[in-house]
A and B are shown apart, each in its own frame.
Chain A
Amino acid sequence: MTAQSQRLLEIQDLFVQFPVPRGMVGAIRKRPRQTVKAVDGVSLHLDRGEMVALVGESGCGKTTTAHSILRMVEPTSGSILLDDIDVTQYAPRKMRPLRRHMQMIYQDPYESLDPRFRVRQTIAEPMHIHRLPGDRDAAVTEALERAGLVPTDLYSERFPHELSGGQRQRVAIAASLVLNPSLLVADEPVSMLDVSVRAGILSLLDGLRKDGLGILMITHDLSTAAHFADRIAVMYLGRIVEQGIAKEVVRNPQHPYTKALLSVVPPRDPRNRKTPQILRGETPDAVRIPAGCRFHPRCPAAQDRCKLEDPALHRPVSAQTSESHQAACLLV
């Protein structure tokens, strides 16, 4: 990874499928084998210094996509290029050197730190694992500073139970920075934190982005995505159904699912009460993905051809949208 190009992450046609276990009864009765198509053809890119928010409801595949980048889950097919190196070609045992360049921040700050490790031990551990030479104490101090935990000697000897949720999340971020990664994957980094603390953590991530890190943020909160991310990709049932510049996607949504999602987000201002477009029913199982456009059974604008054709992401034909704004809908 010598020459630093702008393009940090390139996911192409990623598929992640899990077989559904049949069990003994199912095998005896010869039930057909089913697969969960958690990620059903996702292509996504991320540049250095960019924050992309992967947005969607539970079961849409956003978490599986993120986990497959880090090979916590094995992709079924497709390629994941990190600085032009295809991560999927490496056997799990050979992944260790690559892991230095991509790190993950987890949702639950109360569980992501070993309760028996002091803060400095948690932050120093990645260096031990990767046998990095150099002054470990200095690296720990620097990581604490980057994560906003100053004065550093106040925090380095603490145990997690002495820290608040926001502080713990900062420790987790510091621990991920100590290896100087290029890519940070943040899985719902603030959803378990108090509201008054969230902006602090998100600003910290924004600051890291400005330092040149690429950040992929998984979230279900569209408002957070709209404020802090450069681009948004909306996922539904394993596919990206709309993507583009964050503010554009939010103000000028093209896909009916995006429009519905945005309409049900309650506004802060009680005077802005709007009519939410509440979709019928719930997201179907990823085992039985509808034929044609996967959204058509719940789509308020569905037409006959939506039951037959499966749309790909493309620039909307009629609307005034910028070049990067794409939607997977036959009607735009």
Chain B
Amino acid sequence: MSQDLSQSPTAMSPEPLRPMPKRRGFFRQLIHDRPQAAVGLAIVGALALIAIFAPLLTKYDPYVSTRELRQPPSAQHWLGTDDGGFDMVTLLMYGTRTSMIIGLAASFVSMFLGGAAGITAGYFGGRIDGAIMRTADFFLVIPEVPLMVILAAIFGQSLIIIILVIGVLLWAGTARVIRAQVKSVRERVYVKRTRSLGAGNNRIIFRHILPQVGPLLVANTVLVVAVAIFDETFISFLGLGDPSKVSLGKLIENAFQAGSASRGEWWMLVPPGVVVTLLILGCTLFGQALEDALNPRLKVSYLSVRSFTIRRGISENKGEA
């Protein structure tokens, strides 16, 4: 009576595949779960657009004085002018541009250094791991700000140096996070399987581990951007930034130097501070939401106060029929 299903043709070809339901794209899900990601992204996006299109948005040149010194906000100068006669709004736009470029470039440096270090340490383990991690610990422990000051003072004040200095300071945190993730991916069965097939280290690292670790690296880098922008602002504020470039930190420093606070010339001091705060806030909001979503170790299983729902009336309906 019972057929031998294992021999029938349908048995050898296993279950037909059903189309999976359309899953929400990653970003839509992210914004749905963590709306602060949208807020952060919006802020950064808006500032980036302003920074990119600065020359189109303002008629003033940040390097040419209008000769109207210390003017309060007016119809021609929405945020007034500074002590050198430069239009504040223009300065802000170009300053944002510089700050963002430096922040992004520095965090790329950090991403490459930290990513490479983390992957090397996590994959090879042993003494290499120990050496890299002790170096990272060193960078994590030393106080950033004094070190920044010293390095900037020693190596000079060009843009490139600033970028490198910040990048070198920040790689350690990334390395740590990436190393942990690499260690766990390395132990997964498909990696072991590929090794037992005879795959070399290069193939495993670049084709199997890096794709798993990549998203987390990106998320971490977004957070690093926030820190990099802060660091740059601080360096510039101390007067160690590149003097030929306008940056938000430089604007704040300039405002202090010009004594704007005691003169009540708030339009020189407050706007750059607000903009840099918004920029860092936006990056942090977006970066943290992204890291939350991507770092498996940060996942918390539901600990909810709410309970399941009861549906009544079903059994009553059955009785009626």
CA of A200 to CA of B10, assembled, Å: 11
Which A residues from 99 to 130 make CB contacts under 8 A with B? 99-100, 103-104, 106, 108, 111-116, 125-126, 128-130
Q: How far is the CB of B185 from chain A (nearest CB, A)?
A: 10
Let me know if B13 and A148 touch, CB within 8 A.
yes
Let me know if B193 and A129 touch, CB within 8 A.
no
CA of A172 to CA of B188, assembled, Å: 15
Contacts A116-B212, A148-B12 given; indicate if A106 touches B193 (C-beta within 8 A): yes
Interface-located stretch among B160-168, B196-204, B265-273: B196-204
Q: How far is the CB of A103 from chain B (nearest CB, A)?
A: 8
Asked if A151 is at the interface (CB within 8 A of a chain B CB), the reply is yes
Q: How far is the CB of B213 from chain A (nearest CB, A)?
A: 11
Q: How far is the CB of B200 from chain A (nearest CB, A)?
A: 8
Let me know if A72 and B197 touch, CB within 8 A.
no
| B194 CB contacts on chain A under 8 angstroms | 114, 125, 129
Let me know if B17 and A158 touch, CB within 8 A.
yes
Let me know if B203 and A166 touch, CB within 8 A.
no
Let me know if A148 and B190 touch, CB within 8 A.
no
Number of interface residues, chain B, beta carbon within 8 A: 24
Asked if A265 is at the interface (CB within 8 A of a chain B CB), the reply is no
Asked if B208 is at the interface (CB within 8 A of a chain A CB), the reply is yes
| A113 CB contacts on chain B under 8 angstroms | 190
CA of A149 to CA of B13, assembled, Å: 5
From the candidates B11, B192, B198, name the one contacting A129 in the complex (CB within 8 A).
B198
Let me know if B11 and A114 touch, CB within 8 A.
no
Let me know if A125 and B197 touch, CB within 8 A.
yes
CA of A163 to CA of B197, assembled, Å: 23
Let me know if B17 and A104 touch, CB within 8 A.
no
Let me know if B15 and A96 touch, CB within 8 A.
no
| B15 CB contacts on chain A under 8 angstroms | 164, 166-167
Asked if B143 is at the interface (CB within 8 A of a chain A CB), the reply is no
Asked if B146 is at the interface (CB within 8 A of a chain A CB), the reply is no
Residue-wise, chain A 146-167 has the 8 Å CB interface mask toward B (1 for contact) of: 0011110011001000111011
Q: How far is the CB of A176 from chain B (nearest CB, A)?
A: 8
Asked if B296 is at the interface (CB within 8 A of a chain A CB), the reply is no
From the candidates B6, B198, B212, name the one contacting A96 in the complex (CB within 8 A).
B198
Let me know if A203 and B197 touch, CB within 8 A.
no
| A116 CB contacts on chain B under 8 angstroms | 211-212
CA of A203 to CA of B212, assembled, Å: 35
Q: How far is the CB of B294 from chain A (nearest CB, A)?
A: 14
CA of A220 to CA of B212, assembled, Å: 33
Asked if A170 is at the interface (CB within 8 A of a chain B CB), the reply is yes
CA of A151 to CA of B189, assembled, Å: 27
User: Which residue in chain B gives the minimum CB-CB distance to A95?
Assistant: B198
CA of A111 to CA of B200, assembled, Å: 20
Q: How far is the CB of A70 from chain B (nearest CB, A)?
A: 6
CA of A125 to CA of B199, assembled, Å: 9
Let me know if B17 and A150 touch, CB within 8 A.
no
Asked if A199 is at the interface (CB within 8 A of a chain B CB), the reply is yes
| B264 CB contacts on chain A under 8 angstroms | none
Let me know if A114 and B208 touch, CB within 8 A.
yes
From the candidates B17, B208, B211, name the one contacting A154 in the complex (CB within 8 A).
B17
User: Which residue in chain B gives the minimum CB-CB distance to A114?
Assistant: B190
From the candidates A103, A128, A164, name the one contacting B14 in the complex (CB within 8 A).
A164
Which B residues from 30 to 75 make CB contacts under 8 A with A? none
7 contacts between A and B (CB under 8 A): A111-B188, A114-B190, A129-B200, A164-B14, A172-B193, A197-B14, A200-B11
Known: A99-B198, A125-B194, A164-B14. 17 other contacts (CB 8 A): A72-B192, A96-B198, A99-B197, A111-B188, A111-B189, A111-B190, A112-B193, A114-B190, A129-B203, A148-B14, A162-B17, A162-B20, A164-B15, A166-B14, A170-B14, A200-B6, A200-B12
Residues of chain B whose beta carbon lies under 8 Å from any beta carbon of chain A = 6, 11-17, 20, 188-190, 192-194, 196-200, 203, 208, 211-212
